[in-house]
Amino acid sequence: MIQIKEAKSKSEITAFVKFPFTLYKDNPYWVPSIIKEEVKSFDPSNDIFKTVNVKFFLAYKNKEIVGRVACAINWAEVNELHKPKVRFGWFDMIDDIEVTKALINTVIAFGKEHNMQYIEGPMGFSNMDKAGMLTKGFDYIATMIGIYNAEYYPKHLEALGFKPEAEWIEYKLDLQKYDKEKLTKMANLIENRYHVKKLEFRNIKELMPYVDEMFALLNKTYADLQSFVPIQDFQIEHYKKKYLNFIHPDFITCVMDQDNKMIAFAITMPSFSRAFQKAKGKLFPFGFIHLLKATKQNNHAEFYLIGVDPEYRSKGITAIIFREIYASFKKHKIEFIETNPLLIENNKIQALWKNLDPIIHKERKTFRLDINKTLSK
């Protein structure tokens, strides 16, 4: 018999966070979180929960944890985009569709309690969190900003009557294919034509005064996407604390106009995936050493965020960004880069990569189910 129990206490939330460590113990592609940091991020006192209702649930079978799910309602999304939905995320389970069904029924009950009309996932609390279930690329290691899951996950949801909702693709790029001369020539031309300039940072302290401007530009970049929920000020503070310590200033590129207004930026980072695997969920006593090594000895990087002012999107500004990225990667001996997940309909951002011979190596989707629909199995 499968039992569902809400995780409330710190020990229960810790068990919630630790479950995938057992599920994916011998999987070479899954990347663990830092246990202490993830437990802390679920604390109800965090500002992120000012506009989000969330509950965490564990599934038990024969007194063993066999699954987990988080149910969340982002009220900014409900009220501003008029989407009466429950987000479900941190969704993991053994290969037993009855476990999956029990977890989904819990999400449905949460949605009915709040008069929502449908559920969608996997996704986090906001658009800045990881989203999308892997449907292609199971033999590639997960990135810091991508969810990894076993191949049976989407099969379970489809069997239960779910339909795909949002779809993303991810690109893999080989820097050896960059035409450095052509890229440099184009970037220099764009700088002179539009009187724009790059902005460099020697340390994170120099970057901090520009972070709010980056997020404002991010909101502007993706505002025309139907699924985008604007990032709130308190969320910006949360993500500053969560991610900035991992980013080396060499991997941040900003472009300013002649009035010193930011018109484009890109944040990349060395891949920490192998380092997180070696850390095994703990920064201390030795986990942080693996992360430090990853910043200095790495041939693989990840594209985290990119923002381009719509007024400059068709003016080749990204040539400056790619010129600077190329120079930084050469300095750090980076050979390969993976993009963040890109929405399938976001042609404007995908077009940024078209001259770099991108290869689609991963695909992911969220899945949707109307709350009043009976599960198929």
AA letter at 335:
E
User: Residue 257 and residue 82: Cα distance in Å, rounded?
Assistant: 36
Shortest CA distance to 301 belongs to which of 273, 334, 331?
334
Calculate the CA dihedral of residues 265, 143, 230, 248 and round it to 10 degrees.
Answer: -40
DSSP state of 340: P
AA letter at 234:
F
Calculate the CA dihedral of residues 91, 93, 97, 98 and round it to 10 degrees.
Answer: -100
The answer to whether residue 279 scores a pLDDT higher than 90 is yes
User: Residue 184 and residue 178: Cα distance in Å, rounded?
Assistant: 11
> Where are the chain's structural domains?
2-168+365-370, 173-362
Confidence of residue 74 (pLDDT cuts 50, 70, 90): very high
Give me the residues paired with residue 136 across strands.
363
- Token pair recorded at residue 277: 């695997």
The answer to whether residue 95 scores a pLDDT higher than 80 is yes
The CATH number fitting domain 173-362, selected from 3.40.630.30, 3.40.710.10, 3.40.50.300, 2.30.30.90: 3.40.630.30
pLDDT value for 254: 94
pLDDT value for 322: 86
Confidence of residue 377 (pLDDT cuts 50, 70, 90): low
pLDDT value for 134: 98
At 134-185, the pLDDT tens digits run 999 999 999 988 899 999 999 999 999 999 999 999 999 887 777 778 888 9
**What's the rounded mean pLDDT across residues 120-134?**
91
Distance of alpha carbon 272 from the chain centroid = 14
Confidence of residue 246 (pLDDT cuts 50, 70, 90): low
Q: Which residues contact 201 (CB under 8 A, 6 or more apart)?
A: 207, 249, 252
**What's the rounded mean pLDDT across residues 21-47?**
93
- 234 three-state secondary structure: helix
**What's the rounded mean pLDDT across residues 10-21?**
97
Shortest CA distance to 183 belongs to which of 89, 321, 332, 2?
321
Residue predicted with more confidence, 242 or 326: 326
**pTM, two decimal places:** 0.89
**What's the rounded mean pLDDT across residues 248-270?**
91
H-helix segments, 128-272: 152-159, 180-194, 204-222, 233-243
In this structure, whether the domain defined by 2-168+365-370 belongs to CATH 3.40.630.30 is answered with: yes
Sign of CA dihedral 214, 253, 126, 208: negative
pLDDT value for 295: 79
Give me the residues paired with residue 198 across strands.
255
Shortest CA distance to 360 belongs to which of 376, 344, 377, 374?
344
Confidence of residue 233 (pLDDT cuts 50, 70, 90): confident
Percentage with pLDDT > 90 across the chain: 53
User: Residue 214 and residue 196: Cα distance in Å, rounded?
Assistant: 17
The answer to whether residue 247 scores a pLDDT higher than 80 is no
At 304-346, the pLDDT tens digits run 888 889 888 888 888 898 899 888 888 888 888 898 888 888 7
Q: Do the first three CATH levels of 2-168+365-370 and 173-362 match, i.e. the same topology?
A: yes
Q: Give whole-number Cα distances, 306 to 64, 292, 313, in Å.
A: 42, 24, 12
**What's the rounded mean pLDDT across residues 42-58?**
91
Q: Which residues contact 244 (CB under 8 A, 6 or more apart)?
A: 204, 207, 208, 211
pLDDT value for 220: 85
User: E strands within the chain?
Assistant: 2-6, 52-61, 64-74, 85-93, 118-121, 133-136, 163-174, 197-199, 252-256, 262-270, 300-308, 336-338, 342-343, 359-370
- 111 three-state secondary structure: helix
Confidence of residue 225 (pLDDT cuts 50, 70, 90): low
**What's the rounded mean pLDDT across residues 56-62?**
97
Residue predicted with more confidence, 151 or 214: 151
pLDDT value for 258: 92
Confidence of residue 128 (pLDDT cuts 50, 70, 90): confident
pLDDT value for 226: 58
Q: Checking DSSP bridges between strand 163-174 and strand 197-199, what pairing results, if any?
A: unpaired
User: Residue 220 and residue 228: Cα distance in Å, rounded?
Assistant: 10
**What is the average pLDDT score of the chain?**
89
HSE, CB side, 13 Å, CA atoms: give it for residue 96. 16
pLDDT value for 318: 84
Region of 260 please: left (phi>0), alpha (psi -120 to 50) or beta.
left
User: Residue 186 and residue 71: Cα distance in Å, rounded?
Assistant: 47
Residue predicted with more confidence, 206 or 103: 103
